[in-house]
Structure 1
């Protein structure tokens, strides 16, 4: 006899950053406390498999999970170096193990939440989730696991790819109050490449090599670059690598589907939360998930007014992706121009998609006008071409 599907008000398909964030926001809404919620993933996440960095002015819901936070950041390039005061922002580092534990403990304490470990095989538009063990149905399914990165012509397709060493030294080697946000002194190889250094104390730090390019590197290339950076710039030849991390994040202005149907809503990278021009995701996941929970509590559809919230920034992202893709103007010079001419907080506000039109104009005036004007004209032409009737 075929097993009957188990029905819920909300199914969260995937217990990563997006799924767990959404769960926490749902649980904070009094109007939703009677809703039956299923958190579904193939395994219970417990390890430090991710590191998320972001900047905030206010305290967020995951303050207790932070590994460290800073108010000053170094920027280095061939023509400009400075220790930047980013106030009123603080740059925050969150390790996934603490985040997973916090969210799963919150879920376990909630009577209306069911946690199931099952591999997700398929999600149908009518809200049915096919697992290996059972079928689950929901009034809404919030999906962060089943998606494809869109590959479409007339759009830009790059990757943010990185490898990091968590290192430990036998002697004091770092200033824990002065991390490095971007160091462009490394060889660019006709791409955009930089290193960031996040010290937790005087003897431990994350040193990460990052690139913006069409394809990731071979693992040994990351290792060679990291070893060179540690020896040449940080002047450390004796250290212990306690663990490593590696990741690839899409940087594309090709549109992700925000939903598969009225019942199946995509969240996180699957739902377009990754910022196309930088690869930053965590802050935008928080904004997306908080809005979905608020909409549901207000009796509205999950995606009510979400599409309009990032309007002008999609154009800005497309312009910068064109500059990166065409490689006619070095990417490091773009960042050097911004950080040498503007307060760091203005740049972070712009990258966080919170800037005013006046602040947008300040950022635009700081960079090479010919390069960006040409890129903007091309992107506007393509935008009009896409919307015009065939």
Structure 2
């Protein structure tokens, strides 16, 4: 007993006065229940959960350290699959050490094949794979001394105005209870909130290694519309070269339903063989994803002390499916509020103006009034690419938004905007 006490005291001295406290109590089951106490609990270790934990692990020089528990699902179906995140930002970023690649030139191919290529300086388009991101964040958490990682499957979350209680089960089957003043839940929603329009961005990608040097590693292809278009929505290829022989090649659709796996394989084979003409290549890895593009209203507060962050909190941009940049803005703001002792309600991931414009675009695409491939190709051809990327990130001024708007099909967009107030918001049962 004395030895255990000394070990606990030594650990607490190393971790500092705000260290996590924990104790074990005997529950009604045959296993001991682990009980942890912290000021902040983060549920889920995808982009949002890891980003918030990373921000909390690196407070400013005068900020108080906050004891934090990051609850991540054990290996299995609850853990997020490996994925690739792409985003643009100006200059150096906090995750540059973990990047797979970055590009300053982007290209878009119209359905006719005509390319539009531009330098996006001062922005850079960055590619970050989830495994590299997790390793990068893990090093920061290990060095912090006040953030603990716990592998457990969350079962219930209850809350009142004084805090929250999380009941979970560790990967060894032991019950776990975590109590915290604030909880930030990044786990995927069981179903989407009611919406007037919901499309799905669904894709499959191949990481390929070609026999001959066919890629230009200095230019990424953001959208390539030289693929067959669906009756409604749009489809495009996506090409991220990392060297002359290696690239991520994806086939993506915006539509109301996913495809059978074989359909993605056929589309990718057509794109790599008939459009890109890669010749011989090996597939070294694959990835698949489905991203909801919706004008639903996402609740950022689930209970008095429980908040939703990331895609579950509305961080996905409805018009594009991009999420990572909004997650960084949202989690950075939460961290600043917590370290300043303010109420940490997550801010809206996107402005009201951006969400309103996205709702109009989604309705125009879903109704078939706008040819999606021609729409995006025209925007990239007529608007400076750097400005368009800032527009898609919600970083433009009103006059810049108007300069983009006049280059869209005005009458179909106005008709879509006029009918939105009369449309009912209906639930969609798929996650």
Name the TM-score, length of structure 2 as normaliser: 0.84
Q: Distance in 2 between matches of 1:351 and 1:244?
A: 27
Q: Is the 8 A contact 1:27 1:33 kept in 2?
A: no
Q: Is the 8 A contact 2:56 2:66 kept in 1?
A: no
Q: Is the 8 A contact 1:151 1:157 kept in 2?
A: no
Residue 168 of structure 2: which of 131, 139, 145 is its match? Answer: 131
Residue 67 of structure 2: which of 36, 52, 55 is its match? Answer: 36
2:54 matches 1:20: no
2:100 matches 1:57: no
Closer, same or farther: CA 146–204 of 1 in aligned 2, 3 Å: closer
Q: Identify the residue that residue 66 of structure 1 maps to in structure 2.
A: 99
Q: Distance in 1 between matches of 2:59 and 2:147?
A: 14
Q: Distance in 2 between matches of 1:292 and 1:47?
A: 23
Closer, same or farther: CA 382–356 of 1 in aligned 2, 3 Å: farther
For the pair shown, which has the larger CA radius of gyration, 1 or 2?
2
Residue 270 of structure 2: which of 213, 228, 239 is its match? Answer: 228
Closer, same or farther: CA 201–379 of 1 in aligned 2, 3 Å: same
| Greater share of strand | 2
Residue 119 of structure 2: which of 58, 63, 85 is its match? Answer: 85
SS at match of 2:167: strand
Q: Identify the residue that residue 246 of structure 2 maps to in structure 1.
A: 204
**Offset at residue 380 of structure 1 (A):** 4.8
Closer, same or farther: CA 331–295 of 1 in aligned 2, 3 Å: same
Q: Identify the residue that residue 346 of structure 1 maps to in structure 2.
A: 387
Closer, same or farther: CA 75–271 of 1 in aligned 2, 3 Å: same
2:286 matches 1:244: yes
Structure 2 residue runs of 5 or longer lacking an equivalent are 1-25, 28-32, 170-174, 425-431
Q: Distance in 2 between matches of 1:308 and 1:23?
A: 18
Q: Deviations over 1:248-279 (max 9, x none)?
A: 11111111111111210111111111111111
Please show how residues 305-344 of structure 1 align to structure 2 within 5 Å. Answer: 306-307=347-348, 310-344=351-385
Q: CA RMSD for the aligned pairs?
A: 2.1
Closer, same or farther: CA 355–185 of 1 in aligned 2, 3 Å: same
Q: Distance in 2 between matches of 1:295 and 1:47?
A: 27
Closer, same or farther: CA 35–308 of 1 in aligned 2, 3 Å: closer
SS at match of 1:186: coil
Closer, same or farther: CA 23–319 of 1 in aligned 2, 3 Å: same
Aligned length: 382
2:417 matches 1:362: no
Q: Is the 8 A contact 2:63 2:340 kept in 1?
A: no
Q: Deviations over 1:159-217 (max 9, x none)?
A: 11110000001211111012211001111112211011000000000000111111111
SS at match of 1:25: helix
Residue 281 of structure 1: which of 306, 315, 323 is its match? Answer: 323
Please show how residues 159-308 of structure 1 align to structure 2 within 5 Å. Answer: 159-190=200-231, 191-303=233-345, 306-307=347-348
Structure 1 residue runs of 5 or longer lacking an equivalent are 384-390
Q: Is the 8 A contact 1:277 1:317 kept in 2?
A: yes
Residue 144 of structure 1: which of 186, 189, 192 is its match? Answer: 186
Q: Is the 8 A contact 1:33 1:112 kept in 2?
A: no
Q: Identify the residue that residue 388 of structure 1 maps to in structure 2.
A: none
Q: Distance in 2 between matches of 1:227 and 1:177?
A: 24
**Offset at residue 42 of structure 1 (A):** 2.0
Q: Identify the residue that residue 386 of structure 1 maps to in structure 2.
A: none
SS at match of 2:100: strand
Name the TM-score, length of structure 1 as normaliser: 0.93
Q: Identify the residue that residue 7 of structure 1 maps to in structure 2.
A: 37
Structure 1 consecutive aligned stretches of length 4 or more whose deviation exceeds 6 Å:
44-48
